[in-house]
Amino acid sequence: MGVDLGTQSARAVLVDDDGNVLGSGAAPLGGSRDGVRHEQSPDDWWEAVRTAVGGALRDRPPGAARPVRGLAVCGTSGTVLLTDRAGRPLTPGLMYDDGRATAEAALARERGLRVQPTWALPKVMWLLGEHPVGEGVRLAHQADHIVSRLVGRPVPTDSSHALKTGYDLTGDDWPHEKLRTLGLGAGLFPEVVRPGTRLGEVDAGGEAATGIPAGTPVIAGMTDGCAAQIASGSLGTGSWNSVLGTTLVLKGVTARPVHDRTGVVYNHRSPDGGWLPGGASGVGAGALGKAFPDADPAYFDDQAHRYEPSNVLAYPLVSRGERFPFLAPDATPLLLGTPWSDADHWAALLQGVGHTERLCLDYLDHLGAPQDGPLTFTGGGSRSAYWNQLRTDILGRTVHIPRHSEPALGMAVLAAHGAGGAGAAPTLAAAAERMVGRGHVLHPDPARTTRFLEPYLRMVGELERRGWLPAPVAAHARTRAGQAVRTDDLEAS
């Protein structure tokens, strides 16, 4: 079983060793947004997980009510709260994009810690300053809280969720000397284990609350972006997965970490021993919901092809601030020009996400990250066939769409590997190869790729003009675009 806590919902999926889905369930999640503030209730997380898990268990077909051999949980990257010694919440959960800890992030960077304002570490500092707490306070990530409720006690966190809280993946330890200079004692930080490690078993209370049998092994998970990468099956070196949900996340696989002195790209550690570099943008499908809260996506997708390219240029941030492919805490959503219609506006947002995705890949190339493996699309945005082809054409490269792409499936694969399932696969990559279904392949239309090149370069120039995109990155994007044009010309001749 895999459990995924997203921004708008919790999802659970139950699969067999061949990746066949036996049951699934979901429950909505709400939160509180006000400017850069974004909070959710940890109690709401738990209730949503209970509902989603119950739905997955009830959804099983007759005769499929076999024991659950293992489960893993993923949460949104950088979402954190404070708890007491017993794991009871003392604060709301500050979500992955809460942007109130800018001063704390600046202080942490002065101490030599490469963090962004929306990362978990500065948010922990902010919480400690805003909420009076007593002795024994501990930090917990979103997934940690759910797992502790399942097993009946606080548990170690995994190194994937701990990354944005300052954990040193190279040294496999918390940087306590630097953390102490911020007034953060060692007792605040949980023990850390590798993803795929057995954390414990569901206890009687967990069974009573969720229906998952007591004794079910609970396996350390990863962040939702990493979970989606596992679900994509893209675990070979040089492969990349683009997760389009409320926001856009790119994750890849490399033999060595990708070094980025700005901290825009960060590196998770794979359970197989390699590295999973990537970054999380503030651009994404959430911008569609903000602009058109009552829209019928299928209708607008059907109209959008009339506006290629759109009359306007969009950089569709969901909220203030950008984290990838550049760091600009003050960046605001852009819509340059006046749309001819709502359909034109919708098309501009779709295209703006595609342009941002291309810039993310150009930035990764600028850093020297290999991109010679397959590219996959996952996330809620990948349910739109039109958007998938549009993004493929803007990028100008072949794209793979997996049969199932939910982060919950990625956690089910990790649970199978950690619990010795999936035919006792020796590696996570082997488990994913067995369990992740093959989908279909999209090929770019060179004519459309060329058509979208001018607005892409115009967006690059606008971001550079505003001082958000560094000049060397903009220059590299232009060079890559020129190389693509020359390649197309040679192929045409």
CATH number given to 2-224: 3.30.420.40
Of 254-258, 400-404, 456-460, 461-465, least confident by mean pLDDT is 400-404
Residue 493 has pLDDT above 60, yes or no: no
What residues contact 353, with CB distance under 8 A and at least 6 apart? Answer: 244, 248, 283, 284, 285, 287, 316, 381, 387, 391
Mean pLDDT of the chain: 93
DSSP character string of 262-322: TSSSEEEEPTTSSEEEEEE-SBSTHHHHHH-TT--HHHHHHHHTTSSS-SSEEE-BSSS-B
Give the whole-angstrom CA distance, residue 384 versus residue 469.
29
- Band (pLDDT 50/70/90 cuts) for residue 489 is low
Residue 422 has pLDDT above 70, yes or no: no
Residue 490 is predicted with a pLDDT of 43
Higher pLDDT, 427 or 46: 46
Higher pLDDT, 380 or 79: 79
What's the mean pLDDT in 241-263? 92
Residue 492 is predicted with a pLDDT of 47
- Band (pLDDT 50/70/90 cuts) for residue 485 is low
What's the mean pLDDT in 454-476? 97
Of 99-108, 283-292, 307-316, 436-445, least confident by mean pLDDT is 436-445
User: Would you state the CATH architecture of domain 234-401+445-492?
Assistant: 2-Layer Sandwich (3.30)
Residue 281 is predicted with a pLDDT of 96
Instruction: State the angle between helix axes of 224-232 and 428-435 in degrees (0 to 180), rounded to the nearest 10.
Output: 60
What's the mean pLDDT in 432-453? 92
39-77, pLDDT tens digit by residue? 999 999 999 999 999 999 998 887 666 789 999 999 999
Q: What are phi and psi of 118, to 5 degrees?
A: -90, 0
% helix / strand / coil in the chain, to the nearest 5?
40, 20, 40
Of 11-20, 126-135, 300-309, least confident by mean pLDDT is 126-135
Residue 162 has pLDDT above 90, yes or no: yes
- Range(s) for CATH 3.30.420.40 in the chain? 2-224, 234-401+445-492
Residue 134 has pLDDT above 80, yes or no: no
Cβ atoms of 56 and 24 within 8 Å: the answer is yes
Q: Which helix (H) or strand (E) holds 95?
A: none
Residue 284 is predicted with a pLDDT of 96
Cβ atoms of 99 and 115 within 8 Å: the answer is no
What's the mean pLDDT in 423-444? 85
Residue 491 has pLDDT above 60, yes or no: no
What's the mean pLDDT in 113-127? 94
Query: Which residue type does 479 have?
Result: T
What's the mean pLDDT in 394-406? 90
Cβ atoms of 218 and 201 within 8 Å: the answer is yes
